[in-house]
Amino acid sequence: MSIEFRKVSKEYESGFRAVDNLDITFEDKKLTTLIGPSGCGKTTTLKMINRLIEPTSGEILIDGVSQKDIDPIVLRRQIGYVIQEIGLFPHMSVFDNIAVVPRLLKWDESRIKEHIYELLDLVNLEPEEFAEKYPAQLSGGQRQRVGVARGLASDPKIVLMDEPFGAIDPINREKLQDGFLEIQSKIEKTIVFVTHDIREAIKLGDKIAILDEGKLVQYADTMEVINEPANEFVEDLLGADRALKGLELLRVKDNYITDITKIVYGQNGITVGEAVKTLKDTERKYSFIVDSKGKLKGYVLLKSLLKKPEDTKLGGELIRKIETIQPHSTLMEAMSLMMSSGLSSLPVIDDRNTLLGILRFRDLTKIVSSYSSVAEE
């Protein structure tokens, strides 16, 4: 379902024009991020979509139908809305908070229960554990997930999100962003997402709309914005490290290699001598250790093994722990982890800790160099 703004303006009695002659189409099943400095009109633009704010002039079309021809209450019940403050009712359980709009739409209770349990699964909250909890019993990240589930409760075609992860700490924000990208890949809604964080805008957006003083400065696919900023304002917004920010668009799953040395640590274990032979045969200085099911246990260094008798059973301090990364993570997250941990490569694992391959730092630097070349042209 598309949303089209035709020369839309919003001017207040004071004379302040929050939105100025805006022409933009938010495309069907795409996630568009709205970004710009404070007071640029991004939240006003968002709220005009569901008529929480009425435009002064111009026209807004929802899938080709004039917004003015749709009753505001009916319109809002058909559009999901997720905000930073979440706004959960403290006296209602998680289940009842999510069920508010479906009940207003007079859905059957059995349908509501089935749908809410599906939504809780979707946002990675175990239904049996969380459905009957109250907001005060949840962490900030969990409350925000409930807010996302509630925004999707009526199965809307359009979802509006106003800085939904802005109040969450950086670590949980990354997790929520990753989770939300997975959700969007499954539900394919038309999403308009307001943020003040350029990294978040790049990471989440299929397209980015950049506003300044109520005017649209640039609206394009995210990669195009990075590679071809419209003017100096956009360049400043992207920052001097915009080549690095391109890593927010790329996923580990498309860039890791599977040709790796690994030693299987079965039920009977393995000796140091056997591990050394494997490393020497493959001309490697280290190897990952996996169990019989392919789950990562850690890694071993050849130089450490050579200090031990060959008949020593491999285990204990010889098998070292290591940081890992998952396929859905961004290359920016991978690079940050490598630099903070001093690693030149990261093992890539799935949700079950199965070793899939490795991501190498030297491959990331090549990608950054290619972005830098484009930026300088």
Domain residue ranges of the chain, discontinuous segments joined by +: 3-238, 253-368
**pLDDT band at residue 23 using 50, 70 and 90 as cut-offs:** very high
Full DSSP string of 343-363: -SEEEEE-TT-BEEEEEEHHH
CA-nearest of 142, 245, 140, 251 to 200 is: 245
pTM of the model: 0.73
- Torsions phi, psi of 4, nearest 5? -120, 125
**Token code pair at residue 279:** 């490393």
Using one digit for the tens of pLDDT, what is the confidence trace for 331-360? 988 998 999 888 889 999 988 899 999 999
Choice between 17 and 262, residue whose per-residue pLDDT is larger: 17
CA-nearest of 212, 207, 234 to 222 is: 207
Cα 242 from Cα 315, distance rounded (Å): 44
Using one digit for the tens of pLDDT, what is the confidence trace for 210-260? 999 999 999 999 888 988 899 999 999 988 777 777 788 788 988 999 988
Decide yes or no: CATH 1.10.1270.20 for domain 253-368. Answer: no
Amino acid at 39: G
CA-nearest of 56, 9, 7 to 214 is: 9
Amino acid at 139: S
Decide yes or no: CATH 3.40.50.300 for domain 3-238. Answer: yes
**pLDDT band at residue 372 using 50, 70 and 90 as cut-offs:** low
Predicted pLDDT at 116: 94
**Average pLDDT in the chain:** 89
Please tell me if the domain spanning 3-238 has the same topology as the one spanning 253-368. no
Amino acid at 5: F
Q: Which of 191-195, 265-269, 309-313 has the lowest mean pLDDT?
A: 265-269
Choice between 318 and 7, residue whose per-residue pLDDT is larger: 7
Q: Does residue 374 have a pLDDT over 70?
A: no
Q: What percent of the chain has pLDDT over 70?
A: 97
Angle at 104 between CA 109 and CA 77, to 5 degrees: 125
